[in-house]
Amino acid sequence: MVRQVNTPTENRIIAGGGAYDQRHYEDHPELGTGLISYEHAISPRSFELEREALFRRSWINVGHELGLPKVGSYFTRELEVLNTSIILVRGKDRKIRAFHNVCPHRGNKLVWEGHPAQETSGRAMAFFCKYHGLGYALDGKMEVLRDPDNWFGSQGCDLHLVEVPVELWNGFIFANFRPGGPSESLRAYMGEHIWSALDDIPVELYTDHVRGLGEIDSNWKTLHDAFSEAWHGSVLHSQAMVTMRNITFRAPPSRFDGPHRTAISCGTVPEGAYTFNIERISRASVTGSQIRPTREIEAPKAAFGPDQQDWVAVTFTVFPSFQLQVYAPGWINTYNYWPLAHNRMRFEINQYFQRARDFSELFARTTGIALVLDNVRQDLGLLEATQRGLESRVYDTYPLIDEEHNIRHFHKMVDDRITAYRNELGEG
Ligand code: FES
Ligand SMILES: [Fe+2]
């Protein structure tokens, strides 16, 4: 039975880095303090512009190499925002490649099981089309040509899957769909700060992985905004997180590197404060397992000075739609926001852990996953209400408080890129 066991009543301020008096707008006058337009959360035209200006012109995270452990391991990704599906595969040379999931003979979707809209995974030494049986090697070249004498010239032998450039960052696979190829490397795109942010984390030990997916009737940016401020936690999540009640948040300043962001959540959770008995029994909270992993980690030095102690999570946002969080005392969480329409999205969460040493650790982890997902569900459910409110068009704009400065930065980055793209189109 669930029972509330501990209710702090005093007003507390959660902050970090001595930032109680911080006023973010003074650090970032370029972001201004004005009202933000609702329009791009509710307009189909904005969605069409974002597909091209953001998703086709940025490096996009499409998975992790944990899904490709062996030669021939593959998985598919449905990328509706880019009007495509891709196959990611580890080749005979152990290199990871991505291909558009389309047969070059007569355009059939190449790799799928059950239903063509569903993602799939497995292991193969070649990909055979279900239509006329042509087979493609792991490097995309024609491997099995049927009825070879009946093709004109080399048209059959020349068939080749269309490759999508990919690069890796700490095991995370990023693809680039820019027409004509990437304009810069993933490293140059991210910048040195985020590129080196996990250098002190033993990422190769994070081999246990859980993936979750959900679709909701919300604009993708609205959910991104909810995951870019902690303020709402003291209200929306207060039932599940008693330690969040009566809290005033004062986040330390975020670091902005171009469109990317490093944000910090600090604050010491009071000893013994928990909402449900299961948290005490399992040693887990809504911020996950509280058991230290086999190889202990410190807060990423990229986010703090080396002496920062009271960290809860550090969030790296790789524009436009990927967030990676390192949570104390040592697990990793990622979010992907996949637009499906101006008012519908798929949310993807991935959690990475070091190998559990015993049942206690596994129990803490499993409880932590359930608590995290329970809170995520609260966000997702609320966002459907927000979308309905926005689409009523009762208001045109909304104000943001200083604590919501990450959102202000994100929307400016989106707006700047949409404006540049419209200028390219001659719409400016
Ligand atoms: S469409 Fe794939 S073999 Fe014909
Ligand atoms: Fe939330």
CATH number of the domain residue 170 falls in: 2.102.10.10
CA angle centred on 402, ends 399 and 406, rounded to 5°: 90
Q: Please name which of 261, 81, 75, 105 lies closest in space to residue 166, comparing C-alpha atoms.
A: 75
> Is pLDDT at 9 greater than 70 in this prediction?
no
Ligand 1 environment, Cβ below 6 A = 103, 105-106, 108, 129, 131-132, 134
Residues 110 and 216 in one domain: no
Q: Please name which of 171, 180, 215, 211 lies closest in space to residue 80, comparing C-alpha atoms.
A: 215
- The C-alpha atoms of residue 416 and residue 71 are separated, in whole angstroms, by 42
Residue 268: per-residue pLDDT: 57
Q: What are phi and psi of 96, to 5 degrees?
A: -90, 130
> Is pLDDT at 19 greater than 50 in this prediction?
no
- The mean per-residue pLDDT over the stretch 205-224 comes to 96
Which ligand 1 atom is at minimum distance from the Cα of 108? 1
Tokens read off for 231: 């303020």
Q: Given 182, 216, 234, which residue is the final one in a domain?
A: 182
Which ligand 1 atom is at minimum distance from the Cα of 133? 3
Residues 247 and 105 in one domain: no
- The C-alpha atoms of residue 173 and residue 401 are separated, in whole angstroms, by 35
- Which residue's alpha carbon is at the smallest distance from atom 1 of ligand 1? 106
Count of domains forming the chain: 2
- The C-alpha atoms of residue 15 and residue 252 are separated, in whole angstroms, by 7
Ligand sitting nearest the alpha carbon of 236:
2
- Asked if residue 374 belongs to a domain, the reply is yes
- Which of 101, 102, 106 is the pocket-test mutation for ligand 1 (most atoms within 8 Å of CB)? 106
- DSSP secondary structure letter of residue 122: E
- Which of 99, 101, 134, 146 is the pocket-test mutation for ligand 1 (most atoms within 8 Å of CB)? 134
CA angle centred on 406, ends 198 and 238, rounded to 5°: 95
> Is pLDDT at 301 greater than 90 in this prediction?
no
- Which of 99, 100, 101, 108 is the pocket-test mutation for ligand 1 (most atoms within 8 Å of CB)? 108
Give 385-400 as a DSSP string: HHHHHHHTTS-SEE--
Tokens read off for 185: 């490397």
Helix (H, G, I), strand (E, B) or coil at 47: helix
- DSSP secondary structure letter of residue 121: E
Which pLDDT tens digit goes with each residue over 103-150?
999 999 999 999 999 999 999 999 999 999 999 999 999 999 999 999
Residues 126 and 25 in one domain: no
CATH number of domain containing 410: 3.90.380.10
Residue 311: per-residue pLDDT: 77
